[in-house]
Structure 1
Amino acid sequence: MIDAGYPILSSLIFFPLLMCLVLAFVRSDELVRVITLAASVAEVLLALPLFGFDPAQGFQFVEQLTWVPQWGLSYYLGVDGISLLMVMLTVGILPLCVLCSWTYIGKRIKEFHICLLLMTAACIGVFCALDFVLFYVFWEAMLVPMYLLIAVWGGPERRYASIKFFLYTLAGSTLLLVAMVAFFRAGGTFSIPELMERSYSFRFQFWAFLAMALAFAIKVPMFPFHTWLPAAHVQAPSAGSVILASVLLKMGTYGFLRFCLPLTPAASAYFAPVMIAFAIASIIYGGFVALGQSDIKKLIAYSSVGHMGFAMLGIFLFNQRGVEGTLLVMLNHGIVTGALFMMIGLIYERSHSREITANQGLGKFLPAYMGFWGLFALSSFGFPGLNSFVGEAAVMTGAFQHSWLVGALVVPGAMLAAAYMLRLSLRMAWGGPASPAGKGWRDMNSREWVYLAPLAVLTIWLGVAPGMVLRTIDPAIERLLADFQAKSQAVVAQVEEIDRPLPMELAVVEIDKAGATGAPLAD
């Protein structure tokens, strides 16, 4: 691990907040854009020491400072192989959001860019927090700037979409607060690593899992809690949709990996069949609904329901390939779907419409645009050689290791993704009749090349050579699954010893050294 000589994680959180104060005293809209872009690039530079992360170790770049000693609160930050990728994705997406909104936002420019910086700080805090209360503070803080991005700079139905987003996520946050208090009373600390070292009764895990799972499932969002997502995506400005798809949706799956599996392993195993069923429902439902959309942005929004269904499925397979696939899907979905939302904003600036019929037959007039679109669309449905294929293939491998039935049920979801993305892309490229106005549209300018090219490079690179990512996440996954198995077995042993009937049958999945699932152990 590299010693950068400064608190890296705190710098990543508080530097955007400092720049918000600077922007408050700037009056020129153009200068606001320039300062925010410079700040976002500086944020990337501040994150470079994270490349010195040592996968063999646990939490690194740790910062801990007593906060409220009477209540056992501390300012406690750190990253491991699970959170590192999400931090880097959040940092990397910020300058691209600034660039893609350079001419798109026409009102309250200063406030818009302040919201982008606040969102970045809160999201990084969520992925770095190792104190439960600190995590909850960042989790709640993220709601306000996202709500404002939709409510102030959104489309015609922005009020409905913003209120729906806020109410859904606030309801989930209330359940998370209940779980946090329960863990403090049971474990006597808010420190997440210390809570992970403790064991809890199955009855406690049962209710704690339900509270946390509902909170995180809303954030994913998982079927049937997904209805806020299409409304939020369609009404949000391009940068808001990018942050929502690339970062916010990952908080739900991250919560399952960080809290549910380590803290409530027996309950996670017990509820695994239900979670797998909902994940498969998300994959298939998201695909079918996306197939019937005429609004490009709404189609991509529903595709996110399906993609995040793959991520959820991988978690509850409890094997190495499944969890690997989850983290890869989280990363690659952030790259590819973020790029697609940027491209939707790009074409909206020209056509002022998100309908497929108003944006078809563009292959002759916008060849560079359709080239980028084709690359990201192919990746979105898992074309071999591109990044999304790696994650979805890993999840499907884990699904067949778990059960041939689960694997077979996932296949239609992959086929639906190909159907709706190819249908959309073919109509945009060669559909007819082409929009007459399209003949006068200019192809991509240099600014648009700058913010799409890095995502295109990552799409190809992570598809051809995902080894660096796998080396980073594999040790953390192995530790997570080993701890999950040990704690699950301990709960079974306690239940057998006290011979006390449980409210439901307890099933714990046994994991072998290779990560494949074995037969369930029944109480």
Structure 2
Amino acid sequence: MSSCTIESQNKMKKIALTTSLINFFISLFIWYQFDSSQTQYQFVVTSLLENQPALGGNFCNLNFGIDGISLYFVLLTTFVTPVALLSNYSNITKNLKLFLISFLLLETLQICAFVSLDLLLFYIFFESVLPILFIVIVIFGHGNDRIRSAFLFFLYTLAGSLPMLLCILMIYSYIGSTDFQIISLYSISLDSQKIIWLGFFIAFAVKTPLYPFIIWLPKAHSDSVLSGSIILAATIIKLATYGYLRILVEILPDATHYFSPLVQTMAVITLIYASFSTIIQQDTKRLIAYSSICHMAVAILGLFSNTIIGIEGAILLSLAHGFVSPALFICVGGVIYERTGTRLINYIRGLVTYMPVFTILFLMFTLANTGIPLTLNWLGEQLSLMGIWLQNPAVACLGATGIVLSACYSLFLYNRLSYGNLSPHLPPLKDINRREFYLLISLLIPTIVFGLLPNVILNPLHSSVSSLLYTI
């Protein structure tokens, strides 16, 4: 490769990284300016074309705004995007411009989904991430099965979201608008709520994913490029978490209460099934993918507990998962894979001999993944389980088995990779470099700091979560 080409590639990387960091600092400024005492949307932007009859009146208005719930999902998105870009900073050389544009576009579309104040607009952005991720998996992924994995991801999630589109049109036929704030002023009959709720729930259950819709996620992770796995684990599946809160709990509360036992049952089945599936995995990335499903199942229990403590715990757990899961993907799919050329656990042993610094960081994220105290994961899991305990102690006890099972598969993975006799299949390995160290530390700091100081998150969150359940 010529020096001119290398220089131009370095410029493109710096431009993309600088752009993503500017977005992150803007989101921090919005967090600083956010008034946590209000329950209304803030920083609202309304389109000039809002009430043009030719464009359908109140159909799909370009309205954007932030409340206490969407604020943290926006912050998570802007924080994780630079991490994703840096994770593949040195090993993507072909189609680099497409790679960088794809991830900046993904960031934009996800932020738009989290701040949309219109149902149809939310659906458009909710679905618009699919073709970009499809391209990322096909072009930049690895493995002979990546095209099948990309199609499985794309078709599974697209088909699951079609009922959501029909339900949005159904709401528009009832109310004459798809605006969140206008919809919240109307009362929809319970029978209609049930039909609409099921359509939305199918879309979100596929994206979460909940059993039996989980087959696409491990395959997408295992065949995706590392940056794709980071974005998918940290923020893409959080679109469903946000959808549960913004649509099912807020707009369809009666149907949500009616179907809560069904959702809790599905979450417990997902948790136990995915935990046992995780323990037997031999592919490291697939193992971390299954562990993501387990943690999101606990978050779903909190979301559908109908308690403030449960919902706040689910949001904390979603944020914690957005830090720890990308870090584990960087450990197994980045650091270890780049040095060993394999993701099969049987071929990797005794890493502590050559990589002591990496082993310490890997241990800290492994413990965080198990939900150890003083981490944000622990607070999220405990609050979620406390919330569901107030509704159904039996479900809470079943959900608590996830804590034991997560310790089993997380420590089992760490022990097999890090200790034991040196694998004869491995050459001498270099410890982590400066870029990898900074990446892991940047994900470790918020996991521990917010675990020690959760009120930094909970105070701005409390009014918005309370307004979901109570009329203030």
CA shift, 1:66, in A, is: 3.6
State the Cα deviation string for residues 350-400 of structure 1 (Å, max 9, x = none): 111111123321112111111111111101110111110010011111122
Aligned pair in 2 of structure 1 residues 435, 122: CA closer, same or farther (>3 Å)?
farther
In the alignment, does 2:407 pair up with 1:418? yes
**Amino acid paired to 1:302:** Y
2:71 counterpart (77, 84, 91)? 84
Q: Distance in 2 between matches of 1:191 and 1:294?
A: 47
Give the TM-score of the pair, scaled to structure 1: 0.85
Q: Counterparts of 1:193 and 1:339 in 2: how far apart (Å)? A: 37
Match of 1:150 among 117, 137, 142: 137
1:465 corresponding residue in structure 2: 453
Distance between the aligned counterparts of 2:392 and 2:174, measured in 1? 35
Mapped contact 1:44–1:91 kept (Cα < 8 A): yes
Write the letter of the residue equivalent to 2:287: L
* Distance in 2 (alpha carbons) for counterparts of 1:207 and 1:129: 23
* Distance in 1, Cα, partners of 2:7 & 2:105: 19
**Equivalent residues in 2 for 1:3-402, closer than 5 Å:** 28-51=8-31, 52-57=33-38, 58-67=40-49, 69-70=52-53, 71=56, 72=58, 73-156=60-143, 157-344=145-332, 345-402=334-391
What is the deviation of 1:311?
A: 1.1
Distance 1:66 1:207 in 2: 34
Aligned with 1:225: secondary structure? coil
2:184 & 2:229 partners in 1: Cα distance?
A: 34
Moved more, 98-107 or 152-161: 98-107
Deviations 1:430-480 (A, max 9, x none): 133435535x21111111122221111111111111111111211111110
CA distance in 1, matches of 2:434, 2:371: 29
SS in 2 for 1:226: coil
Give the fraction of aligned pairs with identical amino acids, expressed as a percent. Answer: 34
What is the CA-CA distance between 1:150 and the residue it aligns to?
0.8
Structure 2: unaligned runs, 5 residues or longer: none
The structural deviation recorded for 1:136 is 1.8
Report the 3-state secondary structure (helix = DSSP H, G, I; strand = E; otherwise coil) of the residue aligned with 2:65. strand
Counterpart Cα distance in 2 of 1:328 and 1:470: 8
Contact 2:161–2:202, Cα closer than 8 Å, also in 1: no
**Separation in 2 of the partners of 1:259 and 1:250?**
14
The DSSP-based 3-state class of the residue aligned with 1:62 is strand
CA distance in 2, matches of 1:453, 1:347: 17
Structure 1 SS opposite 2:440: helix
1:169 partner amino acid: T
Q: Which amino acid aligns with 1:178?
A: L
For the residue of structure 2 that corresponds to 1:333, the secondary structure is helix
Alpha-carbon spacing, 1:175–1:67, altered in 2? closer, same or farther (3 Å): farther
User: Which runs of 5 or more residues in structure 1 are unaligned?
Assistant: 1-24, 487-523
Aligned residues: 459
CA distance in structure 2 between the partners assigned to 1:332 and 1:178 by the alignment: 33
Whether the aligned pair in 2 keeps the contact of 1:66 and 1:74 (CA below 8 Å) is: no
Aligned-partner Cα distance in 2 for 1:437–1:369: 16
Q: Is the 8 A contact 1:367 1:443 kept in 2?
A: yes
Q: Is the 8 A contact 2:347 2:425 kept in 1?
A: no
* Offset, 1:253: 1.4
Q: How far 1:27 moved relative to its partner?
A: 9.1
Q: Deviations over 1:106-144 (max 9, x none)?
A: 421111111111111111111010012221221121111
In 1, the alpha carbon distance for the partners of 2:114 and 2:300 equals: 18
- Deviation readout 1:270-290 (Å, 9 max, x if unpaired): 111000000111111111100
The DSSP-based 3-state class of the residue aligned with 2:210 is coil
* Distance across 1 between alignment mates of 2:184 and 2:106: 28
Q: Please state whether the residue corresponding to 1:437 is helix, strand or coil.
A: coil
Aligned mates of 1:451, 1:100 — CA distance in 2: 8
Q: Which amino acid aligns with 1:126?
A: A
The residue identity in structure 2 corresponding to 1:418 is: A
Q: Match of 1:61, SS?
A: strand
AA aligned to 2:81 is: L
Task: Name the CA distance, whole Å, in 2 between partners of 1:463 and 1:294.
Answer: 31
Q: Say whether the 8 Å CA contact 1:76–1:131 is kept in structure 2.
A: yes
1:231-285 deviations in Å (ceiling 9; x for gaps): 0000000000000000001111111100011111111111110000001111111
